[in-house]
Structure 1
Amino acid sequence: MPETNSSDIHILMFAWFAFGHMTPFLHLANKLAKRGHRITFVLPKKAVNQLEHLNHYPDLISFHPVTVPSVTGLPPGTETCSDIPIFLTHFLSIAMDLTRDQVESVMTSIKPKLVFYDTAHWIPDIAKPLGIKTICFKVVCAASLAIVLVPARNLTSERPITEAELAEPPPGYPSTSVVLRGREVQSLLFVSNPFGEGITFHERITLALKNCDAISLRTCREVEGKFCDYLGSQYEKPVLLTGPVLPEESESPLDERWGNWLAGFEPGSVVYCSFGSQIILGKTQFQELMLGFELTGLPFFVALKPPLEAATIEEALPEGFEERVKGRGVVWGGWVQQPLMLAHPSVGCFVSHCGFGSMWESLMSDCQIVLVPQLGDQILNARLMTAELKLAVEVKREENGWLSKENLSEAIKSVMDKDSEVGKSVKENHKKWRDTLNPELMNGYIDKFVQGMHELVE
């Protein structure tokens, strides 16, 4: 690294108001603070309490809360995506933009050398007159950014993207396997939807990428190198890779009740399922998935939010289900320590929605991986894991998008059966990738990233 005094680099971070974005920003802040950098992390007041325990360097990382204003259409008290269903995020985006004056005040006051942001496309407008460099740090996979959010798509608010256009990759897209199939195309049409006052999602993200001084991606060249190069050529910007920026191993143990329950099963025998903090299923689909887990005959632990038509998990379960799976199945509607669940010796399979954070956690675990993607970028993440890396199995959907209990059960059994050719193949490929992405390589990415950061501000 350059012989620059690390303590001279003061960084401001401002992430989209979703824990799936703020958390990786904070993990990166920890990596940078470990190397001597100071970080001012600007975030909603409510998020401070929920993220404080993840701040491993409170002497170098300071939280600066902002007040999220009330916006028509947003339930009172909303501050993060976890407070609302996904279809209301447009209004939260309006609220985030209304914090601009607060962010500008902090930036003017502390005068950082660098600002990291993702969806707040107006950050460079504040930073450039102050002589501050900006890095657009994207926490989603490069493959999904590259298929839609590139200048080659040539979209404007007057010309939204069509299904026919999305069905074809943009010019120069470097993959024939990480693509959308059939009805999946509809899942990315949201990029033409409003996402803030007078701006679409596509415009917001492409402006954020166009106006920064450098693009940063939370990925590895070994996994997504060709997609990173494509993005760099599209935006004509330096692309700095951080690696997956996973948290340090937790010092706190797994919740005792779950640890005791898991300890009652053979090593590698339990199926663990989680779809993240935002995915909420319809009651009928939820019940079908529960019957799918029952059908496997395997022990399982499912952590999902109650479905739309139910106040609690218990009232949403299929009739007689609890009695039939008693002793071998848990369905939990609350938060669980996912990294610790995946690390438990009894857990042998992870059924995931393939959000980017969960994708990396599964990749670095010893578990077999079964994917049930729900939204556009998750579908492309799943395609990367199955078609490119060949280390996971995706559950087949019916033509209408339905996930049947038979298809879920079949996918799980295909990787958990010790004599299954599919199971052996994905396990072998998974091990190769896990061995490649070792801690030394990950630390090397952060060191190179820090070097690129220094070169940007010199």
Structure 2
Amino acid sequence: MTPARVYQVPCGMLLLGTATLFTTWTGLTPEAAPPPRFETERRSVMTTRRASGMTSMERFSLTLSRCNLLAIRSCVEWEPESVPLLPTLGGKPVIPLGLLPPSPDGGRGAGEDAAVSCWLDQQPARSAVYVALGSEVPLCAEQVHELALGLELAGTPFIWALRKPDGVADADVLPPGFEERTRGRGLVLTGWAPQMSILAHGAVGAFLTHCGCSSIIEGLLFGHPLVMLPMLGDQGPNARLMEARKVGVQVPRNEDDGSFSREDVAGAVRAALVDEETRRIFVANAKKMQEIVADSECHERYIDDFIQQLRPYQE
């Protein structure tokens, strides 16, 4: 394919990560906490050659060299310490886009799935944890079992959007007897889940998430404390950033391989939903972040400013 610059077509690059992530990677700021060993080892995927013959890092560098500007899904209100430190990257201007939050009423409604709607309506207010770990990096069968048994051990209602591990028979995905033991208290969804509608429902009181940027924003749009189980890429730094802001708690992990136990899952869920002292802190701080995420006028101003920054490239 002929590079766009041959035709003098202006190009912009969207940075998929927080400003804090890029200021730490470039040495502008120290990371608040050192990453665990398993996360550092997983970063080697950035230097692994893909089917294209290039590594992710090479692709990033090439795109950076050929673009005119960069956009980042962040704003000063969200990252007051980091955004001002990142006016440029690689000599190219970095322009905040705001958080691009979805509409609280967006997406398909839970009413379109009768089982989800019915189950949520039967739960006490702010009693359930919604569990969704994204679609990119599914847990292995052993970790799915530990997560399931941890939700059972926590004793709270849960609704789980489960992506089944590859190569595992349907009958073996969940621990034997799990669904029977948690019937009425838990609902496991293996197909599409109306995430926004679930998070908006009054029965949900916490969000167990892999800490992808979009999931964090969606959870905090409704003021939910986060139970954090990051897997790969920017998810670990995202989780540490949110943990530093006391909007939730990370599930403790084995430093070497990233594994976790059912007791660790149960303890983190209880801290976010049951323990009055920790939940009060998490809810108060999540509400502060909710004010930023839900400020549509603020984010529209960032979009307007971004458009203005593009105008010189149209001339």
How does the TM-score come out when normalised to structure 1?
Answer: 0.64
Retained in 2: the 8 A contact 1:350–1:362?
Answer: yes
Retained in 1: the 8 A contact 2:76–2:84?
Answer: no
CA separation of 1:306 and 1:457: change in aligned 2, threshold 3 A: same
- 1:245 is the counterpart of 2:100: yes
SS in 1 for 2:11: strand
Distance in 2 (alpha carbons) for counterparts of 1:393 and 1:349: 11
Residue of structure 1 equivalent to 2:119: 261
Give the C-alpha shift of residue 404 in structure 1: 0.5
Retained in 2: the 8 A contact 1:272–1:300?
Answer: yes
| Match for residue 21 of structure 2 among 144, 154, 161 | 144
Give the C-alpha shift of residue 302 in structure 1: 0.8
Residue of structure 2 equivalent to 1:323: 180
| Match for residue 252 of structure 2 among 396, 421, 429 | 396
Moved over 6 A (4+): none
Give the C-alpha shift of residue 424 in structure 1: 1.5
Residue of structure 1 equivalent to 2:148: 290
Give the C-alpha shift of residue 191 in structure 1: 1.2
Retained in 1: the 8 A contact 2:36–2:255?
Answer: no
Distance in 2 (alpha carbons) for counterparts of 1:251 and 1:191: 33
| Match for residue 365 of structure 1 among 218, 222, 226 | 222
| Cα deviations by residue, 1:348-373 (Å, 9 ceiling, x for unpaired) | 11000011111111121222210000
Distance in 1 (alpha carbons) for counterparts of 2:219 and 2:313: 33
Instruction: Please list every run of 5 or more consecutive structure 1 residues that lacks an aligned counterpart in the other structure.
Output: 1-99, 105-124, 149-169
Question: Which amino acid in 1 is paired with 2:253?
Answer: R
Residue of structure 2 equivalent to 1:183: 38
Residue of structure 2 equivalent to 1:118: none
Residue of structure 2 equivalent to 1:426: 282
SS in 2 for 1:223: coil
Retained in 2: the 8 A contact 1:178–1:384?
Answer: no
RMSD: 2.0
Equivalent residues in 2 for 1:122-161, closer than 5 Å: 125-126=3-4, 128-148=5-25
CA separation of 1:184 and 1:251: change in aligned 2, threshold 3 A: closer
Give the C-alpha shift of residue 240 in structure 1: 1.3
Distance in 1 (alpha carbons) for counterparts of 2:275 and 2:144: 28
Distance in 1 (alpha carbons) for counterparts of 2:219 and 2:73: 15
- 1:197 is the counterpart of 2:52: yes
Residue of structure 1 equivalent to 2:134: 276
Equivalent residues in 2 for 1:30-429, closer than 5 Å: 100=1, 125-126=3-4, 128-148=5-25, 170-172=26-28, 174-177=29-32, 179-248=34-103, 249-250=105-106, 252-254=108-110, 255-312=113-170, 314-387=171-244, 389-400=245-256, 401-417=258-274, 419-420=276-277, 422-429=278-285
Give the C-alpha shift of residue 309 in structure 1: 4.2
Retained in 2: the 8 A contact 1:343–1:366?
Answer: no
| Cα deviations by residue, 1:407-445 (Å, 9 ceiling, x for unpaired) | 11101101112522x221121111112113312212111
Distance in 2 (alpha carbons) for counterparts of 1:226 and 1:320: 49
| Cα deviations by residue, 1:116-152 (Å, 9 ceiling, x for unpaired) | xxxxxxxxx32x232321110123323334444xxxx
Deviates more, 1:291-300 or 1:330-339: 330-339
CA separation of 1:231 and 1:293: change in aligned 2, threshold 3 A: same
Q: Which has the higher contact order (CA 8 A, sep 6+)?
A: 2
| Cα deviations by residue, 1:35-80 (Å, 9 ceiling, x for unpaired) | xxxxxxxxxxxxxxxxxxxxxxxxxxxxxxxxxxxxxxxxxxxxxx
Bigger radius of gyration among the two: 1
CA separation of 1:365 and 1:219: change in aligned 2, threshold 3 A: same
| Cα deviations by residue, 1:302-328 (Å, 9 ceiling, x for unpaired) | 11111234132x431111111111111
Instruction: Please list every run of 5 or more consecutive structure 2 residues that lacks an aligned counterpart in the other structure.
Output: none
Distance in 2 (alpha carbons) for counterparts of 1:408 and 1:290: 9
Retained in 1: the 8 A contact 2:210–2:230?
Answer: yes
Question: Which amino acid in 1 is paired with 2:283?
Answer: K
Give the C-alpha shift of residue 179 in structure 1: 4.4
CA separation of 1:418 and 1:403: change in aligned 2, threshold 3 A: closer
How does the TM-score come out when normalised to structure 2?
Answer: 0.91
CA separation of 1:205 and 1:225: change in aligned 2, threshold 3 A: farther
Deviates more, 1:129-138 or 1:323-332: 129-138
Distance in 2 (alpha carbons) for counterparts of 1:357 and 1:251: 14
SS in 2 for 1:221: coil
Distance in 2 (alpha carbons) for counterparts of 1:221 and 1:178: 22
Retained in 2: the 8 A contact 1:398–1:404?
Answer: no
Deviates more, 1:263-272 or 1:181-190: 181-190
